[in-house]
Structure 1
Amino acid sequence: MLSDFVKNCGKVYGVAYNYKYPAAHPFMQLKEPAIFLKAPSDFITEGQPIVIPKGYTLIEELTLGVVIGKTCKKVTVENALDYIGGYCVAFDMTALNEWYRNVSQKVHWTTSKTFDTSCPVSSFIPKETIPDPNNVELFATINGKPQQSGKTSELAFSAAQLISFISQHHTLEPNDVILVGTPPMAGTVRAGDVIKGGIKGGVTIEFRLKDDE
């Protein structure tokens, strides 16, 4: 069942540089989505803490998650939305210092993007709750102070484009999740901080951070 996507998810895809920032940015000239993977074991749900690995400096990156509802392979953009089973709200936690190290050494971002508790998510959001994934307003706060805001209409590549693109390379299966991208102004977080994010007027999530013991 899609309501148990946290337990049944096989693949989690993230998308980098996927918002149309106001200022000119070289990454905004990408001709195709910049995809990375997170492990399904990175999922946590409300009530569980985000654990900061020793030596890591974390930033929070709020995103809408698309939960795939049925198997799809090499689907067109025009048909892609038919394969959405529902949604979730998520934080793509990123180790910023590790990311800089990855970039400087010209290696992939795996160690900065996927680690235990790095993908806090909401419960399953039924598809009918969000009639148009291109018209969702997201927000995030750190300790109650506004940090991020953005609309999915500002995505460089829409949910339909992402599903179509990924399905050319991987067969997408029920419960797979695509994190469509984070709005500008992701913030640094520390142990003791509380981050909250969600859909304006809709589902929200809240998590506390703690240091690894």
Structure 2
Amino acid sequence: MQDVEYVKSVLAKEYETSHPHEIEYPNLSDVIDGNEFDYPAGTVFGETPNGSKSPEGHDYLWFKHGEKSILTHRFIVAVALGKWVPRDFDVDHINHNPSDNRPENLRVVTRRDNNGNRRRVRLSELADLNEVTSKVADRKAKKTPEIPEPQEAVEDPFAKFLNSGPVTEPFFTGETKPAEHSNGTWHKTNLGSWHLKFE
């Protein structure tokens, strides 16, 4: 069986994404929506070195989502695949630099094959990286809140009263006008409102 077909066959089945003693991976959609990241560059805002280095001295990077520490390269692969990588698979960096998590620099391998330097499947053989980039950009665009159009300013008729300090109690100003459809009279208050009074 070709390497790509083998990995695809594993990904098509149910599999474990974490070991029993580990904190489980959160819902992938929640992680995508809850973190700022640049998929083509393979970077996540707030990622930091996890303390491990490659033989060449490059840092492995990770970030926190809730209680889970997530390696950046596993997250980038999960974004491309639409689900977390099987826990028993490794994500290998083609250029041997674990700080370079661009999708085209990643490939999926079993732990045994990674150690034996065999069966390496590039991420681009499992997913259309350009299509994933486009989907991620669309998803980000939908998350961006729309800024409402500025409304034309309307003068507040009560602004002069509201900005003049506290009003102890309303009172009639003495200004009146006859009511058109009753035998009452309209009386204006210091708040700018009119009250109908019947004498």
TM-score tier by shorter-chain length is: under 0.3
Q: Taking CA–CA contacts closer than 8 Å with sequence separation of 6 or more, which of the two structures ends up with the larger relative contact order?
A: 1
Which structure dedicates a bigger proportion of its chain to helix?
Answer: 2
Structure with bigger gyration radius: 2
Question: TM-score scaled to structure 1, two decimals?
Answer: 0.23
Which structure dedicates a bigger proportion of its chain to strand?
Answer: 1
